[in-house]
Structure 1
């Protein structure tokens, strides 16, 4: 019992004695009660002192083997690893693992050789992590990181049976260069997929037009009527164009029964002249202006006859009229010449027409009218105008 305990016991005894004295005088205890109260006070004091006495160690320090040795320090069985490369689903693209490895040793038979427990623990953790990352794409490093945190969170025994190991605070990253390369490859794959879809879409449209719509003229007309149900008259007028389009799409000639609906193509010499732009103020050939009534009337006449201004027959007729109008009105012949070009070189002022028109080349020459010259530019078989209109 220390001195402090003794002082406390004395003070408690005095205080309890004073309390009992005050209570006894105020309540007027009988005489026999005072000795009883004093006895209770003494017994309580003795019990309090006995309870506060420190119990002695049953074994003396001399009986202990090492009585003064301190407790051994706690061994921390963990190791931090950083930047360890782990395989991924793609060759040459590795994950970089950083983690804290913890382990605890296992009981081994007597005589077992000593081992590096930290090495065994790290090897076991890396083997478990490699089995997870080996089948994961390197672009999913953040997802695989959370997966590893769950897969390595349990203590498991290593292959040698010497330690149990786990990992915590796992960080899984990818090299910056590999991340850039994967981003570029992903962008290329996306663009290639878009291009492939566009190519297939274009092939589908071409197959639809070539194998269905333009398979023949009939299918083209049905398709056109479906798209323009209220333009039947337009479809009838464009039968020739549809026949040409169908034949071009199938690389065949226009059907014989539809060939009369196809406009005649321009001869090469007339096409070149049209591109050169014969006509006043750059107007195209065969399209006279309002200031050329004679040429305009001639063009309309040829169109009514079923001939275009660029047709060879139209050129032949224009040459004849140009020669004829030179003796009547030079301005009228000039109008025709500006629209249809210069007269053919096969005409001569004193000779017959020698075959500019293909149908007149083999025709027999008729008898010339007597008593006068022939009209300039008149071909074989042409009847000259009356004398009252053409001076000779």
Structure 2
């Protein structure tokens, strides 16, 4: 992709966007554009919108990670412009609407009857011949019937000229708008969008009645991140409640949940080392990682409680549970890491989407497993002593 982008950038007048057919359909359906980042500028005047889009494009170019920068074009389509001279029309007793109607019939045509040939029906449309419709001088000689029976050429009632105009006018919420689109490479969408918004807010001078906002895939990612953040919070609360119901001890529940910060730190460090960014895939990996980390702590606490119920002292039970579960914990973490390695090391089609998930889970598994084996028994022993110092009961 980088090689293709580098070569296409040398072609003048070419705007580049790398995507997939399915991804384009999904992104256009959700955010209205397949671009990673879209700056939409709203206002009433098209020429001023075009100038503001050019200024916004210049402000966005220095932003790190911004590629495939392109602005929508509003002009360039040849048009025939007919401007009615109201005074001239009034002198012959006509109205501008009558002149416009005559022009409509001459250019677009009007159905006046139908012709049947056997069982087939054809519309009979009256309009100017093709050579007259495509010739400005021919249009200017179009005769329009006056009220007094005279026939006046169109050129005496209106100004006919060839000009250029917008191929289309984009509107949102009843307001005209123009868009500047870009892709983001080597950086997360959220920070790139924040920097673009900051630069535009400081450097783009908008007249009264003009404003901008930022959309594209970053909108969908922001919605997904908010949903996943809520899902993570609900999952943690549910784990806390279920662990307390299963163990009946709030202190031991906190011992198990102590593995989660270490798993989180491991995932963050792994993302930083791998050069990946926070996105939906990495957050999904974080949710899966929490489940494995909680399971390791739960196994240690459950095994220790079982040995204590058999009459063994706490320290002896904790030591045996810690040493006896080393191999199963290492095998669990190792199996999960080996299963995720293909996403991390193999250059497979589509693997770049799931790679952040694998990076987060592998980094978190390493740190959470090491914490469970080396630090969690000590923390569990401290909590047990504090409980004994407080009278052995939980309030």
Q: TM-score range by the shorter chain?
A: under 0.3
Q: Which has the greater radius of gyration?
A: 1
TM superposition score normalised by structure 1: 0.20
TM superposition score normalised by structure 2: 0.20
Tell me which protein shows more strand as a share of its residues.
2
